[in-house]
Amino acid sequence: MESQDNPSKSPRRARGRPRDWEDKTAQNTIKSLDRAMMVLEFLSEGQGKPLSELAQDLQQSPATLYRVLTTLEGRGLVEFETETQAWHIGAQAFVIGARFLRRTSLVERARPILRRLMEQTGETANLGVEKGGMVLFLSQVETHESIRAFFPPGTLSQMHASGIGKALLAEMEPSRLERVLKEHPLAEFTTQTITDAGHLRQDLLLIQDRGYAIDDEEKNLGMRCIAAPIFDMHQEAVAGLSVSGPTSRISRDHISEIGAVVIEAAAEVSSAIGGQALRR
């Protein structure tokens, strides 16, 4: 019997990992599955399109694309609307996404704090994380007011024009910040959007100093957002929390007051996930 101390013996592989685990080249990808995921991602970003338009946009043959769509439809990941002849993202995609959210306690632990924040401020409360240089909204508690902000879970938004986005940018390491700014041009959404990198860096320093970020009609005119970062056990910003509403209710006179409430709520979420807010 071989000795366990034999240096020539190959190391044991982790369960569930093949020998070529680290090999991510084309030979280890399933092209048809990769194509299906591309179609699913594309549909998730739009409002639905007929087969001919999808084929043109994705540069795929209609026959091949139809096989992909019908396969995904069989799993409930996409849906076909007979009246408009358009394909849409399906309900099962949401079910899978919801299972991802349950993987972490962040959403679950933040939910009651979001609800209380909405009740305290009277405005919609939001929870988001950074995902690929964008803000991914995970949860929202809407205000009862008729005019309100709306960021359904799964919404992606540019970081430089988002309260949560700027709160997270302000806590990034300089190298990471520069990489995000390089990969994501500062698009203009309104006349208030910060489109100059130097101006944005100045704003991020102000955010660090006061502890909260302001989206001052930078994504949508007439809407204002106040956000603060959420920290983990390593004091790293892993998420952001915000309140959003019309400028008629979130006036400039109330920004500092609401900012203090948002900072307190974000610190409470940080504590709930075992983290600790930075002390500056």
Hey, is 275 helix, strand or coil? Answer: coil
My answer on whether 32 and 90 are in the same domain is yes
CA–CA distances in Å: residue 75 to residues 48, 63, 79, 91: 18, 19, 10, 10
Residue 157: per-residue pLDDT: 92
My answer on whether 79 and 166 are in the same domain is no
My answer on whether 64 and 177 are in the same domain is no
Residue 146: per-residue pLDDT: 72
Residue 215: per-residue pLDDT: 97
My answer on whether 78 and 170 are in the same domain is no
CATH number, domain containing residue 46: 1.10.10.10
CA–CA distances in Å: residue 57 to residues 5, 62, 69, 79, 260: 58, 11, 15, 18, 46
My answer on whether 66 and 128 are in the same domain is no
- Domain annotation covers residue 123: yes
- Structural contact between residues 81 and 48, judged by C-beta atoms closer than 8 angstroms: yes
If you count DSSP H runs as helices and E runs as strands, how many of each does the chain have, helices first? 9, 9
- Domain annotation covers residue 236: yes
Range of the domain at 38: 26-94
- Structural contact between residues 258 and 212, judged by C-beta atoms closer than 8 angstroms: no
Q: What is the pTM of this model?
A: 0.68
My answer on whether 115 and 242 are in the same domain is yes
My answer on whether 75 and 118 are in the same domain is no
My answer on whether 72 and 118 are in the same domain is no
- Total domains, the chain: 2
My answer on whether 178 and 223 are in the same domain is yes
The residues of the chain scoring below 50 in pLDDT are 1-11, 21
Residue 100: per-residue pLDDT: 65
**pLDDT tens digits for range 80-104:** 999 899 999 998 888 887 776 655 5
Rounded CA-CA distance 191/218 in Å is 7
- Domain annotation covers residue 244: yes
My answer on whether 198 and 87 are in the same domain is no
- Domain annotation covers residue 11: no
**pLDDT tens digits for range 219-246:** 999 999 999 999 988 889 999 999 999 9
